[in-house]
Amino acid sequence: MEALRWNKLVNHVLEAAEEHQLWVPGDRIIVAVSGGPDSVAFLHIMHEISTTHVPLELVCAHVHHGFRIESDDEAEMVGKLADQLNIPFECAKVDIPSYMKLTGQGPQEAARDRRYAFLHEVAEKYGAASIALAHHADDQAETVMLHLLRGSGLSGLAGMKFKRHEKNVELIRPCLRINKTDLVEACNTQGFLYFMDESNSLRKYRRNAIRLDVLPFLGQYNGQLTPSLNRLAEIVGDEDDFMEQGAYDAYRCLVQVNGGRQTFEVPSFLKLHVALQRRLIKLILNYLPLDSDFVDFTRIETIRRKVTQPYAKTWSLDIGQTLACTREYDLVSFGKRTDVQDQSFEYRLVQWNGTYELSLREIDRYLRIIPMSPEDYIVPESADQAAFDADQLLMPLVVRSRLPGDTMKVMGLNGSKKVKNIFIDEKIPPSVRPLIPVVCDGAGNIVWLPGVRRSSIAPVKEDTSAILYMTVGNSAIQG
């Protein structure tokens, strides 16, 4: 009977490994063993699998937290067990109190951080493919309930995954469908030595309180609460993976990365379902240098609502940690907060020979001036080009930065128009406006806003005998 139960546990792990592709023959796996019944039974299961089912190279890893009097005996026992199974053994004694003072974390958080850090060190040392953890179905139920009480989203309700990539290895949990009672019973019937951690009965730790109080109380109304929570985790986990893939697809289609800024167009974003809108914003924030716990529902929803509101076409939203989300007409961008200061400059062009190129170093642009005969003249094809009647254009030309109150006589419009209003009408983003130079004639009239509009001054006509042709471009792409 005991053999049948034991074989059932081994088969459970083999089935999970095949379903979730947890390993391939020849993999080197670090098995985390605390000394409790769960991890001790798990190490024996993995040992049997590696010797009779799938050739695997196992390494036993144990962390001595130093919290309890029996910690020394526990570490010694795990070391002897690894030796009996002919498995390499790695052990580290960590100073949790000092780490708690350094980080401000509680004992359980600090112990978890140091434990995982050590496991990754061992994995790197041995070139392991994965780190195997003994988390079981009861752990999963506790995790789902803990996340539910915290107000978690879909990802939290998915609980722990059978396989998750972290750093350069996979974290695998082959026992997630096995109950703790079955692992304890296996240790007792097979005669495996183990230690019980008395701190697991302390209700001051929230997870313990959930296990000891919350789940038993709710179990009065559902005798299959633990299996139900585990089914919820698996169903939600698969749907969460599906949604996450949808978010990655939307990211690839919609988001452009330029100069460290991530941008998307509002019309395309609005076509997404609200669930994908949230996922996409979360994904963008995760790519930014933010703390992981900084990306919460409130921050994501604040950004989403700001983007989807039908009014306010230009705004900047400080999202913390020196980062901002900015909308400029139909373009939303994420990146470091930039308080753009207008670069003040002025260049006077009195005379030159042939083609002349002016470097506008302050804004990383250039202006090229080409004297041209009517025979060579080609009508400008874009706002980055402009042509003037050279004889009608007063000298010297002045190329300068924009000034408050600037106005320009717009071609096709009687009278003048404020440059600010021209920018608004042309939907020039506020962050781009300081990078647009102003070209004036000798009388101070603005004749051209390169890349935007030209004035009605000195147009090229049929009787024009000399032409001044101008082009503007970015210095970074200048040929």
Residues forming a β-bridge with 314: 328
Torsion of CA 104, 106, 107, 111, to 10 degrees: -70
d(C-alpha 80, C-alpha 83), whole Å: 5
Residues forming a β-bridge with 258: 261
d(C-alpha 30, C-alpha 169), whole Å: 10
Is residue 216 part of an annotated ligand binding site? no
d(C-alpha 121, C-alpha 31), whole Å: 13
Opening angle at CA 299, ends 297 and 303, nearest 5: 115
Is residue 34 part of an annotated ligand binding site? yes
Is residue 36 part of an annotated ligand binding site? yes
Report which secondary-structure segment, H or E, holds 228.
helix 225-254
* Assigned token pair, 206: 């929230």
Residue 325 CB partners (closer than 8 Å, separation 6+): 303, 306, 307, 316, 317, 319, 332, 333, 334
Residue 316 CB partners (closer than 8 Å, separation 6+): 324, 325, 326, 327, 337
Is residue 38 part of an annotated ligand binding site? yes
Residues forming a β-bridge with 318: 324
Residues contributing to the annotated binding site for ATP: 34-39
Residues contributing to the annotated binding site: 34-39
